[in-house]
Structures are given as C-alpha cells and as structure tokens.
Amino acid sequence: MSETKAHKKRDIFLEGPIDTAFIAESIAKHATRTDIGAHEIFLGQVRADRAAGTGGKFPAPTTTAIEYTAYRDMANEQMLPIREEAFARWPITCLHVHHSLGTIQAGELCFFVFASAPHRQAAREAVAYVTDEVKKRLPIFGKEIREDSTHVWKSNQ
C-alpha cells in the first residue's frame, strides 16, 4: 500500500501545542526507511505580534496566544488532494502534517509539516508547497488573544 493510501483517514489535528518530543519521535520513526536521504520540516510558532496602528505613548497590546478552531471534517477532507498533489509533483517517500487546536501560547508550536525523500530538493519543495496550501485551503480559524484580554481574528490573506 502506498503512503498516500495508508494516511487517507488520518486526522491532522492535535489538542494543544505540538510537543518537541513528538517531533523528535516522528523523525526517529523513519530510521528503518533507509531509502530516505533527506528530511525537511516546517514548524509554525505562535508569534507575539503587536497590534498595528496604536503605537506611541500607549503601546498596542501584544498577542499572548492564539485559540484555534476548525471545521474539522472539511479540513481533513481538504488535506487529501493537497497530499495527493505533493506526491504527484515530487518523488517524496512520506509526508506528515499536524495542526493544533485549542489555545496555543506565544512561543509554542502550532503547525508541523514533515516530508522525507531520497533527495533534499523534493522534500524541500514539497514542504513549502504543502505549508502554503494548508494555510490557503483548510478551514482553520484563529482567535488572537491579546495581553489586555481583547481579541482579533487572524486571517491568512
């Protein structure tokens, strides 16, 4: 069975931040796949953005966390063609995508894209493509919580 089929039913979502131990374990699981010569990883981290437009004497509040929600069934369905496009375009061995749900504090990891291939260029390009397409095509929503307890809704435009 191909990797694509093996992963068809996978839920990309995890509750809470992505633990660095989970990332290390994901890498370690590939030790038996000796046809792999390159791993490429993208990690998204919640950034403590300062709100625009209200600087000066009263500095704008910074983001302390993002609360992620998703239309989970649709997001997992939308992930399938992205995965298939990546396997069709690049000779990659495997591809793993995970995204957080719930409240993720600034400095914590919320998005993990991991491709492995015999050679580095395929892994690199596949990760860049999948990262961008997930941001564009998956119905994931982010509420940026600020230090003054107000919030704004994040938008990938």
Partner 1 sequence: MEMKLFGMIAEKAEAESIALEAASVMELKRKAEERIEGLAAMSYAIAVDRRIMNDDAPLNGNEEVALLPPFAGG
Query: Strands 63-70, 151-154: parallel, antiparallel or unpaired by DSSP?
Result: unpaired
CB of 97 to partner 1, least distance (A): 10
Residue whose CB is less far from partner 1, 17 or 93:
17
Site for partner 1 in 3-42 (CB under 8 A): none
- Closer to partner 1 by CB, 92 or 98: give it: 98
Task: Give yes or no for residue 79 binding partner 1 (CB under 8 A).
Answer: no
Nearer to partner 1, 58 or 153 (CB): 153
Per DSSP (E only), the strands in the chain are 13-15, 38-45, 63-70, 94-105, 109-117, 140-146, 151-154
Q: Note whether 123 and 40 are within 8 A (CB).
A: yes
- Looking at residue 124, its amino acid is R
- SS3 (DSSP) at 130: helix
Report the interface residues with partner 1, using CB under 8 A. Answer: 44, 68-71, 73-75, 77-78, 99, 110-111, 131, 134-143, 153-157
